[in-house]
């Protein structure tokens, strides 16, 4: 079975707005398997955004588990994230899942990985996936030098820059915001 390459997901908090976006490409080997995958989800009655990179079925499983944790911990983003990371790292089934997530509410964003990491990114910018370093670099530059842009505009532009460079990222974007 060919390895399914990741995607690009980026989140930016700027001037009181949280924005997250992802491209829509799923790649198997050197073939684009699907060009319009939706990798951003609204959870907790629209108060939490989650974006995933990695194997799609694995990511869907993790999103469902994360949503259960949010419900159980009364939409406390940090607590739900830590509990998911603990389960992900220690549960025999979950441990095999290959994905990463960015989760955010109106106040904070976190990156969750299967190694048990729950990271609060520096400079209010987070990125995961194949094109993450391109998107993160672009978003950081935009935050520093194009402060007139909204968080949503920064996310959109950084994803377009990543798509121009990374062969596993396309220009079919899904963008979401929280204010």
Catalytic entry in 7, 8, 27, 169: 7
Per the structure, the complete domain to which residue 73 belongs is given by 4-166
CA angle 74, 78, 84 (to 5 degrees): 85
- Number of domains forming the structure of the chain: 1
pLDDT at 161: 98
**In this structure, is residue 70 part of a structural domain?**
yes
Query: Catalytic: 177?
Result: no
pLDDT at 3: 45
Q: Looking up tokens 């976190």, which residue turns up?
A: 110
pLDDT at 124: 97
Per-residue confidence of the chain (179 residues) as pLDDT tens digits?
344 457 899 999 999 999 999 999 988 878 888 899 899 999 999 999 999 988 777 888 889 999 999 999 999 999 999 999 998 888 777 777 778 899 999 999 999 987 889 999 999 999 999 999 999 999 999 999 999 999 999 999 999 999 999 999 999 999 999 98
| 1: helix, strand or coil | coil
**In this structure, is residue 171 part of a structural domain?**
no
Q: Which residues pair with 174 in a beta bridge?
A: 22
Alpha-carbon 122 to chain mean position:
15
> At 9, which CATH number?
3.60.20.10
**In this structure, is residue 118 part of a structural domain?**
yes
Long-range contacts of 80-88 (CB under 8 A, 24+ apart): 81/110, 81/112, 81/118, 82/118, 84/112, 85/112, 85/113, 85/116, 85/117, 85/118, 86/116, 88/62, 88/112, 88/113, 88/114, 88/116
Instruction: Give the burial class of 122: count Cβ atoms within 10 A of its Cβ; 0-12 exposed, 13-18 middle, 19 or more buried.
Output: exposed
pLDDT at 99: 81
């Amino acid at each position: 079975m060919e390895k399914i390459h990741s995607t690009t997901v980026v989140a930016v908090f700027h001037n009181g707005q949280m924005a997250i976006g992802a491209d829509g490409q799923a790649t198997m080997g050197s073939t684009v398997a699907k060009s319009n995958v939706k990798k951003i989800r609204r959870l907790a009655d629209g108060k939490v955004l989650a974006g995933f990179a990695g194997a799609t079925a694995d990511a869907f499983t993790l999103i469902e588990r994360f949503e259960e944790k949010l419900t159980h911990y009364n939409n406390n983003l940090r607590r739900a994230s830590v509990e998911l990371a603990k389960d992900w790292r220690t549960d025999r089934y979950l441990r095999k899942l290959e994905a990463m997530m960015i989760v955010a509410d109106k106040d904070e964003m976190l990156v969750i990985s299967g190694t048990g990491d729950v990271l609060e990114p520096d400079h209010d910018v987070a990125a995961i996936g194949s094109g993450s370093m391109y998107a993160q670099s672009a978003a950081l530059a935009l935050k520093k030098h194009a402060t007139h842009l909204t968080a949503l505009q920064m996310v959109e532009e950084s994803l377009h820059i990543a798509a121009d460079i990374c062969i596993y990222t396309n220009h079919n974007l899904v963008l979401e915001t929280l204010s």
